[in-house]
């Protein structure tokens, strides 16, 4: 029998012959320096973190340190509290909250892995009547005194069951207020120094006049 021909033609018609491995997905080229890298197509973008300047109105001397070893690692805290915990949010919005009928304490059942920004989004509808939203809301852990930053989770601050979180409204321009106060204090110091110099000059002039007045009398009496 002669050689079998046409095998390549038959094999080319088989289904597996036309299946080629998909090309590898290449990472997008990096953008200009200082820009965020672009995500590959098909991947969802992470939710943006709102502008967070919660501690602008907090004096530096009163800010508790987060790197003093008093807090347990975030991952360890999450493993200790895998289930949602019950916390209390104390609303400190003054007359606006009272007029709007907002309760002074809001109980929450929440996961310690939740970001502070997501917690603010949960609370925003409850305090919106007092003119507070996610951007203007400020959360502070009572006792420890930590101001909760949007990008961190509750586990980062070791929030435990039964803890109380104080909800207040941000003081816009807090840094400018502190700068103005420092400037006013410098003016007071400068005014005090000027008054002291003026008083010293008056005393020196009075002493000089007294000396010039007494000296001729002393000469005449000799």
H helix or E strand, kind and range, residue 74: helix 74-80
Domain span at residue 188 reads 173-222
User: Model confidence over 93-108: pLDDT tens digits?
Assistant: 988 889 999 999 999 9
C-alpha to C-alpha distance for 197 and 189, rounded to whole angstroms: 12
Q: Are residues 206 and 114 in the same domain?
A: no
**Structure-model confidence comparison of residues 198 and 183, the more confident one:** 198
Q: Are residues 81 and 105 in the same domain?
A: yes
**Structure-model confidence comparison of residues 66 and 219, the more confident one:** 66
115: three-class secondary structure by DSSP: strand
Beta strand 85-91 with 137-141 is unpaired
What confidence tier does 8 reach under pLDDT thresholds 50, 70, 90? very low
Q: Are residues 109 and 75 in the same domain?
A: yes
Q: Are residues 197 and 131 in the same domain?
A: no
Would 221 be classed as within a structural domain?
yes
Q: What is the CATH number of the domain that holds 115?
A: 3.10.20.90
The pTM for the full model equals 0.55
Q: Are residues 167 and 182 in the same domain?
A: no
pLDDT of 58 over the 70 cut: no
Q: Is 204 left (phi over 0), alpha (psi -120 to 50) or beta?
A: alpha
**How many domains does the chain fold into?**
2
| Contact predicate 113/155, CB 8 Å | yes
Q: Are residues 164 and 178 in the same domain?
A: no
Q: Are residues 66 and 154 in the same domain?
A: yes
User: Model confidence over 16-52: pLDDT tens digits?
Assistant: 444 555 555 555 555 555 444 454 455 445 556 655 6
Q: Are residues 181 and 160 in the same domain?
A: no
Would 29 be classed as within a structural domain?
no
Q: CA separation (Å) from 63 to 81, 114, 116, 144, 152?
A: 27, 23, 18, 10, 17
Question: For tokens 């010039």, what's the residue?
Answer: 212
């Amino acid at each position: 029998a002669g050689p079998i021909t046409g095998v390549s033609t038959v094999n080319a018609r088989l289904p597996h012959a036309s299946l080629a491995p998909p090309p590898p997905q290449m990472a997008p080229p990096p953008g200009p320096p200082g820009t965020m890298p672009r995500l590959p197509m098909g991947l969802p973008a992470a939710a943006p973190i709102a502008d967070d300047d919660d501690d602008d109105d907090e004096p530096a001397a009163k800010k508790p340190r987060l790197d003093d070893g008093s807090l347990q690692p975030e991952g360890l805290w999450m493993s200790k509290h895998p289930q949602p915990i019950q916390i209390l949010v104390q609303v400190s919005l003054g007359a606006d909250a009272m007029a709007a009928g907002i309760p002074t304490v809001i109980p929450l059942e929440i996961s310690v892995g939740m970001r502070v920004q997501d917690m603010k989004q949960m609370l925003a509808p409850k305090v919106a009547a007092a003119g507070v939203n996610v951007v203007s809301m400020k959360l502070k852990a009572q006792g420890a005194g930590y101001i909760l930053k949007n990008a961190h989770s509750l586990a980062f601050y070791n929030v435990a069951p039964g803890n109380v979180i104080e909800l207040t409204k941000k003081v816009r321009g807090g840094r400018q207020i502190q700068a103005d106060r420092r400037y006013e204090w410098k003016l007071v110091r400068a005014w005090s120094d000027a008054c002291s110099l003026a008083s010293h000059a008056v005393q020196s002039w009075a002493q000089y006049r007294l000396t010039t007045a007494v000296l001729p009398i002393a000469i005449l009496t000799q």
